[in-house]
Amino acid sequence: MKPAHPAVSIKDVEVVAPNFKRRLSGVTATIVRLVPIQARDIGIVSFGWGLPDFVPKISLFELMRLGYRPTAKGRPRVFHARRNTEMLFGIILKYVFRHKLRLLFTSASQRDHTRYTKFLLRRMDGVVATSRATKEYLEVPADIIYHGIDLEAFQPPTSRAKIRERLGISSKHCIGCFGRIRHQKGTDVFVDAMIELLPRHPDWCALVLGRATMPHFGFRRSLQDRVNAAGLGDRILFPGEIPSHEMSHWYQALSIYVAPQRWEGFGLTPLEAMACGVPVVATKVGAFPEIIPEGKTGNLIEPGSVAELISAADALMGSDTIRNKLAAACRQHVVDNFDIREEATKLIDIYRSLADEDGRFFARSLNLAEPGDANG
């Protein structure tokens, strides 16, 4: 376990990254990964719930005091929101409590925004989009900064066999689908494909890793009933939710990773898998077409298509040669394009420019080169 982060002096706080959700989510995971890295170079803290001790953070009382205590350099602080509720809270702090703040929002959503969200976005001083597809839905200027991966935490193992043994997996190969268990995530597509494929590949098992929230209990139960009816209860496994600091081991146990989402904002799991040298099969949603080079690190399929998933996964499951070739390219692709340190540095550049006294600012004025096509 990482050691607890020491207390942060109020005068040293330059950036606040709130986390207004108690349960683990993609946004929370982003904050947990990024903030400790950013804290090496800038005075950044988080505020909210569900954060481990190694993340620098402050209390609500300390947060309210920030508005009346200037930074050591006398410049505005940056409030970096990633949810609507956090944008609203930042607006209240700035315009009601008169805190000296610059407001930044990171958008991962790929859908038409409501009038309420557009209202909030127009009051931001800067906006970041996590992909080109996300930027197309924004009506305000934004820079594109792809999410990155901790390349030390997620890396190929010395021996996948030993990792599987340690996790209690007896099969020679594993194919996995990680994340929330719900219809939106396409978990049913993965399960249906595995019911068809596993009898053809006796050395393989499938992992459905993640949690189903209460509204989706029935969905998960129906999947497990389907698996049991097919006589595959000992080969399609549902280990449940795994702590974030243990996730890399489960990727390292895999030979193939599947991201079968019907809809997604960004979607970090394929990058985490590729960083561990695992080829991927993913749907053409979210940022997946931008971050997964077709035929180089895996394959892209239409969302909701069991037949396409069966075809793509079957080809990989049946060829060690193809998988090994893709695995080497996977790791290199992530190293070259998705190092979390680059994401952290680009955000810090935006924070520092926002803190200038020039009034409203959009990240575009940083003149950062827009990321090229990661598939190139």
Same structural domain, 141 and 39: yes
173 and 296 housed in the same domain: yes
CATH number at residue 273: 3.40.50.2000
Residue-range definition of the domain harbouring residue 15: 10-148+340-366
What pLDDT digit, counting tens, does each position of 317-339 carry? 999 999 999 999 999 999 999 99
Q: Are 67 and 176 within one domain?
A: no
Residue 154 inside a domain? The answer is: no
What pLDDT digit, counting tens, does each position of 79-121 carry?
A: 999 999 999 999 999 999 999 999 999 999 888 899 999 999 9
Q: Are residues 105 and 243 in the same domain?
A: no
Q: Is pLDDT above 60 for 360?
A: no
| Same domain, residue pair 249 and 328 | yes
Over the chain, what is the mean pLDDT? 90
Beta partners for residue 330, in sequence order: none
HSE (CB half, 13 Å, CA atoms) of 168?
A: 5
pLDDT single digits (tens) 141-160: 999 999 999 999 999 999 99
> What is the rounded distance in angstroms from the CA atom of residue 216 to the CA atom of residue 271?
26
- Give the length of the chain: 376
Establish if 374 belongs to a structural domain: no
The structure tokens listed for 370 are 């827009």
For residues 360 and 295, state if they share a domain. no
- Same-domain status, 38 and 110: yes
Task: State both tokens at 255.
Answer: 């030979």
Inside any domain, residue 1: no
d(CA 73, CA 102): 15
Count of domains for the chain: 2
pLDDT of residue 70: 67
* Domain match, 170 and 260 both: yes
| 153 in a structural domain | no
| Residue 290 counted as domain residue | yes
350 and 266 housed in the same domain: no
- Say if residue 320 is in the same domain as residue 348: no
- Whether 56 and 8 have beta carbons less than 8 Å apart is answered as yes
Helix-helix angle 306-317:320-337, to 10 degrees? 100
Using CB atoms within 10 Å of the CB of residue 4, give its burial: 0 to 12 exposed, 13 to 18 middle, 19+ buried.
Answer: exposed
Q: Are residues 139 and 193 in the same domain?
A: no
Q: Does residue 4 form part of some domain?
A: no
Question: How many angstroms separate the CA atoms of 235 and 170, rounded?
Answer: 10
* 357: confidence class by pLDDT, cuts 50, 70, 90: low
Q: Report pLDDT for 1.
A: 57
On whether both 325 and 252 belong to a single domain, the answer is: yes
> What is the three-state SS of 264-281?
CCCCCHHHHHHHCCCCEE
Query: Does residue 376 lie in a domain region?
Result: no
Q: Flag whether 126 is in a domain.
A: yes
Which H helix or E strand runs over 19?
strand 15-19
